[in-house]
A and B are shown apart, each in its own frame.
Chain A
Amino acid sequence: MELVTAPLPGAAPARHALVDAAGLRAVCAAAHVADGQLQTLWASDERDRVGGFCLWVALADAQGLLLLQLPLPAEQPRYPDLTDIFPAAARLQRAAYDLTGVRAEKSDPRPWLRHGAWPTQTFPLRRDTHGPAPTDEEESYPFVRVTGDGVHEIAVGPVHAGIIEPGHFRFSVVGEKVLRLEERLGYVHKGIEKRFESLPALQGQRLAARVSGDSAVAFSWAYCMALEALCDATPPARALWLRALSLERERLANHLGDLGALGNDAGFGVGLAQFSRLKEDLLRANARALGARYLLDAVVPGGVAFDLEDAARRLLLETLPPLETEVGTLRDIYADHAGLQDRFLGAGRITPALAAQLGLTGLAGRASGQPHDLRCDHPAAPYDQLQVHRITHSDGDVAARVAVRFGETLESLRLCRVILENLPPGAVHAPLPPAAHGRPGLGWVEGWRGPVLVALETTDGGGIRRCHPHDPSWQNWPALEHAVIGNIVPDFPLINKSFNLSYSGHDL
């Protein structure tokens, strides 16, 4: 079958194609055979425009993004189930139904994001729904039961003993051995996609940055990339380099925090103390040189909201070598600590074959032999000039995810140095021309957790018609269920931390 694709403008390499139901499955199956992955899936209400709904499926292949658009009727919008091709589609399809009422045929009928918070036949993302009608309807959510001699369930969360985000984990165990884990998420559904629709396009990056606070730069950059694609504009070179600097520093802050937390979860408090100190130094340097500890509002449409004075640039450069030395020392301490390695090695393993089947992505994917890194595969400016080294590992266990974090931390430090030494002069912001409407714009950025995608469509009045932010956690949460099978219950927190997935970015 010949697929007619049209290139989409913008920094992200993307093509667009209209498909029918059979074509959707055929293209997905062909992409799967060619090692493509499902990037995201969402639905939109187009009844005001074309009298129906649309399903959008974004696939990542060797050439970049392939955006498939499937028009659906206004009555009984149904499309073929994709979970047999891409297992990661399952929860995206359930979420799409909860929000728009567009359902995959013969799919899991349980709600995913709804949680009884609004009535069954109300779909918040439809254009005629204004504010979900609250309901106190008691919702039953049947978990998959495992039966057998000595099997029992441990229900954990959504409220945990520590201060972390809410998620429910249902373990079926025999003694301490985990037979099955079923996650239930969606507790922090905030209606972000609906909120986008009441914002002017030029301010959407502020909300995008808050989709998942630890990936603020990645989401706001992806949003701006999508908007700039619609405006057919490219920000000044200096702005792009400063965005890359912000993104790498966000990656550094998260990796440093995670490496410490991983040590702490294995009972090695020294690791937490040392890495917390390094992270704090990094954040303070951010505050002094870039004006904020976490770079929530650093990226704006058309450029960045800050400039780097020469003194601040030198200050940042000076902080890099000592940080690099200390990370190297701590890497040796982690590597030489028998007790720590005993906890890390072999725990929560996802083999490369399983990772490929599940579509494991980002950092966790790279630790399981999936060599995808947007900064290397489809480098958008300025990464095309930075030659990022890809860090991969094939063991797929906690130790591999720790090793990839160490490798990426050192690589990010190198990138920061190269960026700071070669920062081009010029403006940091250029005003954007009006955005085109009637077509989607895509932004695609490799955040610290994995590829972040933002799909954006604007209205002719400069507002947002539909915005879909996608966090890589969607792909990796289901993989966590596989990673813990056969492990023991007390190792779960360590395995979970080694993925460190987002709840907020997933629940939206």
Chain B
Amino acid sequence: MNITGVTAQCTEIAMSVAAAPLLLGWVNQCRAWLQNRRGPGLLQPYRQLRKLFHKDAVLAANASPLFRLVPYVEFASMGLAAAIIPSLWTGLPFGAAADTIALVGLFATARLFLALAAMDIGTAFGSLGARREMLVGFLAEPALLMVFFTTSLIANSTSLPTIADSFARHPLALYPSLAFAGVAFLMVLLAENARIPVDNPATHLELTMIHEAMVLEYSARHLALIEWSAALKLFNYACIGLALFLPWGLAQGPADPGGLLIALPATAFKLLLVGAGLALIETLNAKMRLFRAPEFLATAFLLAVLGLLVHLLLGS
């Protein structure tokens, strides 16, 4: 590990953390445009964060230390995930520290802590949200693992940077199995990030919420961190998707600042497209009945397994 590598690593984490609310703002802006509304502007998530950081936190009288700790755990997990995911460079020093399976575990840890915090206060909504979140989570995780297995088999590695590197080197190779895996991943992304059709991030109806119901008791800086982590989670998922299915333009080989010249605009452009696509999906669909979510995620799992089978049986 040299000084350039460390700088590159820090740059990538800083970029992810700083740009995550922007991606969310872009998705919301696109959604507003698609609905013939003007929208609050790209910077609205930042304004929201600033507002929350300036407020005084209100804690329930029976909140345990865990409840205070969780926002930091969430933020740290998502920051760590951002360090592992190759969003600009594939040759980052941290990339070798954890593979895709560890990444799934990291997301699961974050989910577990948030669910614990949701039940900590003992309100009906917290438990309701935690229960639903676990329902979605335990179905989404296997599908995500299957997607990773398919790509790992093709690239002969479970390390995300290596997979991305391998795919980026063969820009013209077509893998039918990846098409299945890609659709499955998109479905997991929607479910894991509380987007329509699984959850509605914009709703005020507490009885229908999944993610929002878990964080109803949070306020001020705690809520800001939770919201920032949620934005970072979406950003991370988008970057995983790009690394697996559209890795072209990533700076390859040992991390050096020169790679940024191409990687930064390429990643920004791809994220623009991802955001617009996400907004389109959310505009065209209504929210599913809660008990359709298992069917939705079972479909994702099935597609991911199909991708795996296609690869194993046909070798493509």
Residues of A within 8 A of B (CB): 152-156, 160-163, 176, 263, 265-270, 272-274, 277, 337, 339-340, 342-343, 488-494
Contacts and interface: CB of A to CB of B under 8 A. Distances in A.
Question: Which of the listed residues B207, B216, B289, B292 has the most CB atoms from chain A within 10 Å of its own CB?
Answer: B207
B299 interface: no
A273 B36 contact: yes
Contacts of B292: 342
Contacts of A162: 204-205
A267 B36 contact: no
Nearest to A163: B204
B207 A339 contact: no
Given A161-B205, A267-B203, A269-B31, A489 B286 contact: no
B207 A489 contact: yes
B206 A161 contact: yes
Interface in B193-235: 196-197, 200, 202-208, 216
Contact of A342 (B36, B200, B289): B289
B143 interface: no
19 contacts: A154-B128, A156-B124, A156-B207, A161-B205, A267-B196, A267-B197, A267-B203, A270-B283, A273-B35, A273-B37, A277-B36, A339-B286, A339-B287, A339-B288, A342-B286, A488-B289, A489-B207, A491-B290, A494-B208
Contact of B289 (A152, A263, A343): A343
A340 B203 CA distance: 16
Interface string B87-113: 000000000000000000000000000
A274 B290 contact: no
Contacts of B207: 154, 156, 489-490, 492-493
Nearest to A492: B207
Contacts, number: 83
A80 B207 CA distance: 39
Contact of B285 (A152, A274, A339): A339
B290 A490 contact: yes
Question: Which of the listed residues A270, A489, A490 has the most CB atoms from chain B within 10 Å of its own CB?
Answer: A490
A487 to B, nearest CB: 10
A272 B282 CA distance: 14
A265 B289 CA distance: 11
Contacts of A176: 290-291
A485 to B, nearest CB: 15
A266 B208 CA distance: 10
Given A154-B124, A273-B37, 4 more contacts: A274-B35, A339-B286, A342-B292, A490-B207
Interface residues of B, number: 29
Nearest to A339: B286
Given A160-B206, A161-B205, A342 B288 contact: yes
A266 B206 contact: no
Contacts of A493: 205, 207-208
Question: Which 4 interchain pairs have the tightest Cβ spacing?
Answer: A267-B287, A162-B204, A339-B286, A273-B35
Interface of B: 31, 34-37, 124-125, 128, 196-197, 200, 202-208, 216, 282-283, 285-292
A435 to B, nearest CB: 46
Contacts of A160: 204, 206
A273 B125 CA distance: 28
A337 B196 CA distance: 15
Nearest to B288: A339
Contacts of B206: 156, 160-161
Given A342-B292, A490-B290, A269 B36 contact: no
A343 B34 CA distance: 22
B226 to A, nearest CB: 16
Nearest to A263: B286
Contacts of A491: 289-290
B286 A268 contact: yes
A410 to B, nearest CB: 22
B35 A161 contact: no
A270 B285 CA distance: 10
A468 B36 CA distance: 44
Nearest to B32: A273
B303 to A, nearest CB: 19
B65 to A, nearest CB: 26
Contacts of B290: 176, 488, 490-491
A271 to B, nearest CB: 9
B286 A267 contact: yes
Nearest to B206: A161
A277 B35 CA distance: 11
B258 to A, nearest CB: 43
B29 to A, nearest CB: 13
A319 to B, nearest CB: 19
Contacts of B205: 161-162, 265, 493
Contacts of B291: 176, 488
B117 to A, nearest CB: 18
A491 B290 CA distance: 8
B35 A270 contact: yes
Contacts of A277: 36
Contacts of A270: 34-35, 283
A236 B37 CA distance: 44
Nearest to B205: A493
A267 B37 CA distance: 16
B202 A269 contact: yes
Contacts of A490: 207-208, 289-290
A297 B125 CA distance: 42
A343 B286 contact: yes
Contacts of B196: 267
A488 B200 CA distance: 17
Nearest to A276: B37
A24 B102 CA distance: 75
Contacts of A161: 204-206, 216
Nearest to A160: B206
Nearest to A273: B35
B124 A343 contact: no
A154 B213 CA distance: 13
B120 to A, nearest CB: 17
Contacts of A489: 128, 207
A266 B37 contact: no
